[in-house]
Amino acid sequence: MSTRRDPYEGFTGSVGRTFRESTPAWPSRTRPREGAPNIVVVLIDDMGYSDIGPFGSEIPTPTLDRLAATGVKLANYHTMPLCSPARAALLTGLNPHRVGYSFVANADPGFPGYGMEVAGDIPTLAELLHDAGYATYAVGKWHLTRDSASNAANDRSNWPLQKGFDQYYGVLEGLTSLFHPHQLVRDNSPLDIDEFPDGYYYTDDITDQAIAMVKSLRAHDDTKPFFLYLAHNAVHGPLQARPEDLARHKGRYDGGWDELRAARFARQLAAGHFPEGTRLPDRNSEAGYDVGPWDGLTEVQQKLYARYMEVYAAMVDNVDQNLGRLTDTLAALGELDNTVILFTSDNGGTGEGGPEGTRSYFSRFVHHPDLPADWNPDVEREIELIGGPQSLVHYPRGWGMASNTPFRFYKGQTYAGGVRVPFVLSWPAGLPRAENDTGVRTQYQYVTDLLPTLLELAGIERPEIRAGQPVQELDGTSFASVLREPHADSTHTEQYCEMTGNRSYYRNGWKLVTLHRPGTPYDDGEWALYDLHADPTEIDDLAAEFPAVVKELAEAWENAAWRDGVFPLADGSGALALREPEDARLRRPVTLLAGTPELERYRSSRLISFRSFDIVAELDDHRADDQGVLVSHGDQGGGYSLYVEDGRLRFAYNEYGELYETDARPLAPGARTVTVEALAVADLKWEFRLLVDGEETGRLGPVHQLIGMAPFQGISVGLDRKSPVSWPLFERHRSFRYTGALRSVTYVPGEPAPYDPETVARALQAAAAAFE
């Protein structure tokens, strides 16, 4: 059978032997409807319900205030309690487990709900708008690409450009340094950056990029509408702020979190966010989530803790400033009124800083069952450094509780503190507000509703068939009617939720919810029941009074969980530490030639994590005056660097902010190989030996291993890029490129240590299989 297609098939003109005998015709181009609005979705990271002016905050957010003054506030908007699942739901309109995002895109336990890839039959909002003729741009945090698929050798099938965006600039992973982003990506290419200019700040940068994309579009096409997905890494930890922003908030939080909660709640009540009689819950008191009274802290603690919140407020302030620059650009183009601007958060404020906060973010972030007694989750820093490029900090969870005012708990939990977030939408040309309309909407709506709502506002129907393939049905429903009419009914009347075993089910004002303790059995005894119409802040557990409602909603949750791919649930097996067998390739020895771009973070971590390893630097005839970094791995949050300075070989080890250095003698002219041997020993520690041409010249350790998300910056050969391992060395030499002839650096990973979580998980699996 011939597969040759007639080249004239479908041509609507006529074709003769010559142009004179022929009639031309051109294919029609897809164009959006006349007057179709631009769409800007601003997604902030880890922001609680009360952190912007329109939702009760004292932080100056004049841009958001203006948008809310002419737009709509959804006071009862719900999302997922964690970032990747929320982003998957927002961009697809499907429940995240169906899409394969049961968790953040940093796990691979081998089940459908953890696939971490948006399938071809699930078109994203960007793809649907692009199909309809929109220009599509994304800047900032992506976090829908699994960490193991974020390197330059990956097929990029789940990167932004393959999911409907024309252009992308930002960070694929879930967090980064705002002064020294660890791996910027433009479109499909990681950028090879040695140093950032003084004064660089990532939130400013991604806004600059977004504005440039819009300006470029208008220079080439004066009417084509655009979709801009502006996904901030702020205000996710580590918390970092520009000095000028930080200065504006000095002293603002000296009164503490109790005072702050009360003030914010009063403003929320005055704005009509909650019915009369709504109560502010007591401080969180459950073990592991508890917050003490501000007045119970020492003066030193209060000063330190207030500084953390000043940094956080400065970050929120800066986001609003940058949104103002974007809206000013739209106004200059005459397009502000016909742009749908949506602002919300992926999940609620976080408690990950622990009870006292941390000045060493990555050591606090470690969750290993056998941390040694001398593990330090809060490496001291001078208070003046907090919020700057030398510190990676997070606030105490008391501020996370205040961020989530008036709700209980935090990001990660399915209580309201984790899932109710601010939501502002403005479109003056298409959604003008009536004089008697306050703009407040108290109807329940959910993150999966955003895609169908934005499509309806744009006048676009989601197809049943796309690219010859049936598309999966939506879980969300448009709430355009709620935006237009204050008293319209909610379009989303029931919804399941699950995150790391925390479960909930909402139906017509009833909410069934658990606070699950990891490793404990899943049973109906952990359900709590709340009547959200009378008790929106989830204070009065009615489970004992209404057992029939508990039974009904528990069954509904179970059915939804099977229908949406929620199972299996997390348990004490450690399965979330598992990786697909193919991942073992990343632990093979690797040789990096001089000039190799920085090795991606996850790829780099596989070479050293929870194991012994050797690093061998091959030199070509080292000279007496040669100096610089031979190899570096990490940043101010943790790492190590091997370098030559003033003729001497030195090794710097940054243990989550605490710097250790050893002098390994002069490096003699003619030296050929420099080796670092790291031996994994008990208590999650390494001991280091340094050798030159096989002869030991220095030792360092034992020091705590860099695990979890550290080192967060990948391996660099011949210099220390971006955020330095050693700040004193950076002040002396910046990135300190090696001046001699460096041939290569080879990493040789050893066998995993007995405490490697993946090794432990596989051992538990084998034991369970043997028992069965």
Q: What angle do CA 386, 390, 392 make, to 5 degrees?
A: 65
Backbone Cα Rg of the chain: 27
Unique residue bearing structure tokens 């009547």: 531
- CB-hemisphere CA count at 13 Å for 535? 14
763 Rama sector, left if φ>0, alpha if ψ -120 to 50, beta otherwise: alpha
Asked if 168 and 156 count as a contact pair (C-beta separation under 8 A), the reply is no
Q: Give which of 711, 664, 668 is closest to 690, Cα–Cα.
A: 664
Beta strands in 6-48 (DSSP E): 38-44
- Give the C-alpha distances (Å, rounded to integers) separating 181 from 142, 158, 681: 14, 21, 32
Q: Give which of 82, 74, 42, 40 is closest to 55, Cα–Cα.
A: 74
**Which 3 state secondary structure label does DSSP give 709?**
coil
Asked if 254 and 301 count as a contact pair (C-beta separation under 8 A), the reply is no
Q: What angle do CA 504, 507, 508 make, to 5 degrees?
A: 140
Choosing from 143, 232, 394, 633, the catalytic residue is 143
| Edge-to-edge order in the sheet of strand 510-513 | 494-499, 502-507, 510-513, 528-531
Q: Residue 468, class by beta-carbon neighbours within 10 Å (0-12 exposed, 13-18 middle, 19+ buried)?
A: exposed
Burial 691-717 (b: 16+ CB within 10 A, else e): bbeeeebbebbebbbbbbbbbbbbbbb
Unique residue bearing structure tokens 């009378």: 534
Count of C-beta atoms within a 10 Å radius of residue 94: 23
**Which residue type is seen at 223?**
T
Choosing from 83, 492, 633, 733, the catalytic residue is 83
Asked if 77 and 506 count as a contact pair (C-beta separation under 8 A), the reply is no
Q: How far apart are CA 55 and CA 51, in angstroms?
A: 7
Q: Which helix (H) or strand (E) holds 498?
A: strand 494-499
With the CA atoms of 568, 572, 574 and 575 taken in that order, what torsion angle do they form, in degrees rounded to the nearest 10? -10
Distance between terminal CA atoms of the chain?
55
Q: How far apart are CA 74 and CA 68, in angstroms?
A: 10
Provide CB contacts within 8 A for 260, sequence distance 6+: 58, 253, 402, 405
Q: How far apart are CA 604 and CA 438, in angstroms?
A: 53
**Which residue type is seen at 695?**
E
Length of the chain: 772
Q: How far apart are CA 210 and CA 208, in angstroms?
A: 6
Structure tokens at 665: 């003698």
Q: Give which of 545, 549, 477 is closest to 511, Cα–Cα.
A: 549
Continuous H helices in 333-460: 361-364, 397-403, 416-419, 450-458
Known catalytic residue: 143?
yes
- Give the C-alpha distances (Å, rounded to integers) separating 237 from 22, 84, 101, 393, 508: 65, 15, 21, 7, 35
Provide CB contacts within 8 A for 379, sequence distance 6+: 359, 360, 363, 655, 656, 657, 658
Known catalytic residue: 497?
no
Structure tokens at 189: 């290419």
Unique residue bearing structure tokens 């709430």: 479
Asked if 310 and 246 count as a contact pair (C-beta separation under 8 A), the reply is yes
Q: How far apart are CA 437 and CA 389, in angstroms?
A: 45
Catalytic residues: 83, 143
